[in-house]
Structure 1
Amino acid sequence: MKEIKVGNIAGVAGKLVYDYLEVLEHPIGTIERLPVIIAQGANSGPTLWITGNIHGDEYTGIPVIHRVINSLNLDELKGTVIAIPSLNPAGSRVKTRYPYYDRKDPNRLFPDGNPFKEKPKTDMSEVSKITIDEANKEEELSIKTEKVVTISIDKEKEETKIKDPLAKFDNEELYPSVQEMIWKNLFEIIKETADFLLDLHNAFIKSIPFSFLDRVLYNPDLEDDEKKAEELYNRTEEMVRAFGLTIVRETTPTKYIQKKLHRSTSGAALNYMRIPALTIELGMYLEIEPEVVDAATIGVFNVLKWAKMLKGDIEKITSVPVIAENEAVRYIGHPRTKKSAIIDLKVKKGDFVRKGDIIAIARDIFGRPIEDDFEIKTEVDGYVFMINEGILRYPNEEICWLASPDTQPMVDKWP
């Protein structure tokens, strides 16, 4: 049977193992550690990793992991479930999204799989190559052929630069943050065993539970990379459909990279580690909705059945709304306010809206209509699946998030 280890923590076939993975020594000498559960089945099979609470104020993943682990029959399980209930104990302690020792979004700091993150040192230029008909070169029409040739110009040789002795101190990649270093080490551990990964999150207070389906990106310079990306996407799509929640496609490649979503837990697992991986958004943050815990627990067990780690049929989720079934939808922040306003919302989460429908009414603090922006309407059809908190909006702020029809490819080149 395959040996399962998380750092120095070893799995035991047919048993649950609970321990901590030490990841950081604080300046005062105390140790930051992550809770680890290894549930190794009595029979060999794949390994599913489940992570939660990477944002310290997003709690639902914790009871979902508890429910899943405590419900597993290890005699029937083929393979292993490895769970980290909290990826961010520091943030969780103080009820904040980010850990207090690194004030960056921890879900944008995993290893960067973009093969084109460094700009090429050469420029590709096109020139016309002309061949002269020597026999008739004195005549006006003496050009025999003309074709376009691509040549490479080495920018470093082309430009004479003064060496900057301080440049290395400005290169942030040489000085990764403490959280980046933690994640790099953790990903090396995950790579040793992981076949699939589920990362459990929360979204807005007014949001329905849903799964993000990321695009799979490939390197056109590598042979068969597009084909492998197609296969990876197909497996990932199968997994997200098995889970059973609403499916919302991630944004397009250029914005995906700009927002560093390829460096999220699931984004890096998918596009760097190249295993099927999902971000699961489980309703409101800061609190627990029991019906969402029920739904997510069913979803995890559905994935275990899909992966043939457990026997049984896929169970339909009924405790929470599931919208846009069998539709390809992508999220957009829409509509937005044009001016500062107090908004009176006219939709609720889960609603389907059509182009021209009123989403909100905009008023000033005295209750008077905002000139030229009183009725805020949607310009596209879509499902309202998340609504931003509060009634105050500044110019260009989103009122809600729509899941609208998407026609863009789910397998694409790295931008």
Structure 2
Amino acid sequence: MALTIGTATAKRGEIAYGEYFLVQHPVGGADALPVIIAQGKEDGPVFWITAGIHGIEHAGIQVIHKLITSELVEKLHGTIVAIPALNPAGLRTLNRQAYYHAGDPNRLFPDGRAPKTDPDKAPPSALEQAYGRLFEEIKNTASFYFDLHCMSNGSLSFIFRDRILYRKGDESARKRAEEVSIKMDEMAQAYGHTVTADFAVEKYINEKLHRATTAAVTMLAGIPALTAELSSPYTPTPEVVNASVAGLRNVMRWGGMLGGEMEPITGIKVVDPGFPTHRRSVARVTQSCVVHHLKEPGDFVKVGDPLVEMRDAWGRSLGVLNSEYDGFVISRPTGILYYPGDAAMLLAIRDEEPRIGEYPEKYFD
């Protein structure tokens, strides 16, 4: 398959390297994304893998580096397109966002709405425009897609599965959403890590998560896509990196890109509560305190189970916060010092909302 992304052009049986122009700097020079295209000798799907859209999340970079090897290419049917650093400015400065866009870079992919001109608002930033161009590259070439992120130190290594929204009354879009949803579930099963959905639909839209990389690709392009959260953000642990590499090879086996048996996922906890879940931030402290966590990532919890103990600076107990939900612990936020209202734990709780559904009324108005 002839494929060019930026200055990288695929070559059968080889790994090609290049750059994709991102943003021009006002004082000269530019930011560019590193592009890797690994193409097997035989035709097959095109698997896009990206990482580093948040500048403090580094494990995905190592995953891509370890995954794409000459040995893999020898066995590969199809093509891998990988971008290890979607946010070079954030990676350089160890910041979640880029210094040339004030907001979260993973809320800048297209949302499906027609652009509106407002003289009192700035137009899309240079970064948003660049991601719009990149989205078109993915839309036009990808068979399926993974975006690699990190949660917090010690968190589960898991999958966020986006909900798929479609226009009310558009029967073809609904059928496509159903088909893509099935493929996403199959991909997640092949990856072999813990799986949870993102927030409930209203919060999902309010948080602009429908403009995240995988959500835009899934909803607007109809391409199966998943977000992998790889635990430790700054200094990746080998166990987490290796488990993700094995999972991605399994996804390629699912997609017909590699032969052989599925690899076991080892070195990490994999949790299945037996029912669908979505994330929820819980254990919001009632006063400024030092938190002692009473549950670990991967632990199952039931309504009424103690989650955290609040203590003052001298260690005296200020009370215990109990779970309001059945589910399991995904992660504990970094640090132990909290102010009133801060959430001290992230749970995956029972999800009773459909994984596909209509856009909210008046969304496109």
TM-score range, shorter chain: over 0.9
What is the correspondence of 1:80-95 to structure 2 with a 5 Å cutoff?
80-95=79-94
1:60 matched to 2:8 = no
* Cα offset, 1:54, TM superposition: 0.8
Q: Which residue of 2 aligns with 1:248?
A: 196
Letter in 2 for 1:394: Y
Instruction: Pick the aligned partner of 2:127 from 170, 179, 190.
Output: 179
Among residues 320, 344, 354, which one is paired with 1:399 in the alignment? 344
Q: What is the CA–CA distance in structure 2 between the aligned matches of 1:345 and 1:188, rounded to whole Å?
A: 44
AA at the equivalent of 1:292: V
Distance 1:103 1:200 in 2: 22
Q: In structure 2, do the counterparts of structure 1 residues 353 and 71 end up closer, same or farther at CA, with 3 Å as the change threshold?
A: farther
Match for 2:313 among 365, 370, 380? Answer: 365
Q: How does 1:101-250 map to 2 (within 5 A)?
A: 101-113=100-112, 168-172=118-122, 175-250=123-198
Task: Map 1:375-394 to 2 at 5 A.
Answer: 375-394=320-339
Aligned to 1:291, which of 239, 243, 264?
239
Q: 1:79 to 1:410 in 2, by over 3 A?
A: same
Shift in Å, 1:216: 1.0
Contact conserved, 2:294 with 2:307, CA < 8 A, in 1?
yes
What's the CA shift for 1:8?
A: 4.2
Query: How far did 1:171 drift?
Result: 4.3
TM-score by length of 2: 0.94
Q: Which residue of 2 aligns with 1:329?
A: 277
Q: Which residue of 1 aligns with 2:11?
A: 12
Match of 1:342 in 2: 290
8 Å Cα contact 2:158-2:195 kept in structure 1: yes
Equivalent residue in structure 2 for 1:279, among 205, 227, 231: 227
Q: CA RMSD in A?
A: 1.7
Kept in 2: contact 1:206–1:388 (CA 8 A): no
User: Which residue type is aligned with residue 26 of structure 1?
Assistant: H
1:225, 1:187 → 2: CA distance?
19
Residue 411 of structure 1 pairs with residue 353 of structure 2? no
Match of 2:41 in 1: 42
Aligned partners of 1:107, 1:177: CA distance in 2, in Å?
A: 13
The SS at the match of 2:17 is strand
Name the structure 1 match of 2:363.
none
Deviation at 1:75, TM superposition (A): 3.4
| Counterparts in 2 of 1:42 and 1:335: CA distance versus 1, 3 Å | same
What secondary structure sits across from 1:272 in the alignment? helix
Secondary structure of 1:314's aligned partner: coil
Residues 205 and 283, structure 1, Cα contact 8 Å, conserved in 2:
yes
Contact 1:206 1:389 in 2 (8 A): no
- Report how far residue 360 of structure 1 moved: 1.4
Checking the alignment, whether the CA contact within 8 Å between 1:113 and 1:262 is kept in structure 2 is no
> Where does residue 97 of structure 2 map in the other structure?
98
Structure 1 residue runs of 4+, over 4 Å off?
none
1:6-58: CA deviations, max 9, x gaps?
13432111111011112221001111111000001111111000001111111
Identity %: 40
Farther off after superposition, 346-355 or 33-42:
346-355
State the SS of the aligned residue for 2:95. coil
In the alignment, what sits opposite 1:69? 68
